[in-house]
Chain A
Amino acid sequence: MSLLGIVNYWVFVALMMLGFYALIARGHLVKKLVGLSVFQASVFLFYISLGKVDGGEPAILVDDPTTIYSNPLPHVLILTAIVVGVATLAVGLALAVRIREAYGTMEEDEITEMDRTA
């Protein structure tokens, strides 16, 4: 397998690292959530790459018995994981909005400082 043949997996690793870095390094809560979403999305890409079969058709049954299908299972799994990701993101953003209402800021440093002096 050539290096380019597994390009999906390189992209997965790169996105995962980027998302994880943003999650750790950024102080703004919404930017953290963006990082978290990129991190999760990279895993979706990983699973979908796993399901790819060379020359595979979408997994909808057709009459021709020689058809090769892509593996639908990772797609189904990742549909579930995407829904979970959306729910997490919605809860995270809701918390960020509430934090902004309660503290007047979304910067983690300032929030920590306000909690320390409170």
Chain B
Amino acid sequence: MNDQPIARILTKALVPLVLLFGLYVQVHGEASAGGGFQAGVILGAAVILYGLVFGLDAAKRAVPLGVLYPASGIGVLIYGGVGIASQMLGGDYLDYGVLAGDFVAGQKLGITLVEAGVGITVASVMIIVFLEFTGRRDPA
């Protein structure tokens, strides 16, 4: 898309803003509307927009598939790890209350960590789906 200066310039301006907004939604998940699902999709959308305008190769250089696949698994492991950690500390699975000194702080910490895991997995899966689909060439 080298002949589309408007799209290129706008995208360059937009991508950081979208990423920032994604992070905002991510870190506000434990106290207000937001969270890992939404943030993951927004973060993924930023990369997808980048890939649409600058091409698949540029997107793959920015976030290689070799990183995305492990990341999609690591997100789930973070989520599950928080659950196991709360079991180790004497609570039930995903019982955030035991994670920190008092109940409310534990809840906040637990939700933040779990949402981080969800965000990583959702973002990387969205990008993987985009890259793998568009990376295929029509055989016909």
Chain B residues touching A, range: under 10
A90 at the interface (CB under 8 A from B): yes
* Structural contact, A104 and B140, CB atoms closer than 8 A: yes
| Complex-state Cα separation, A94 to B130, whole angstroms | 11
**B residues bordering A, Cβ < 8 Å?**
32-33, 37, 129, 132-133, 136, 139-140
**Smallest Cβ-Cβ distance to B139: which chain A residue:** A101
The contact of B133 among A58, A93, A101, by CB within 8 Å, is A93
| Complex-state Cα separation, A83 to B32, whole angstroms | 20
Tally of A interface residues using CB under 8 Å:
10
Known: A60-B32, A104-B140. Is A83-B133 also a contact (CB below 8 A)?
no
**What 8 A-B pairs are tightest by C-beta distance, nearest first?**
A90-B129, A101-B139, A97-B136, A60-B32, A104-B140, A79-B37, A60-B33, A83-B37
In the complex, what residues of A have CB within 8 A of residue B37's CB?
79, 83
The contact of A58 among B33, B132, B136, B139, by CB within 8 Å, is B33
| Complex-state Cα separation, A90 to B130, whole angstroms | 10
* Structural contact, B33 and A94, CB atoms closer than 8 A: no
58-96 of chain A: CB within 8 A of chain B = 58, 60, 79, 83, 90, 93-94
**Smallest Cβ-Cβ distance to A83: which chain B residue:** B37
**Smallest Cβ-Cβ distance to B132: which chain A residue:** A94
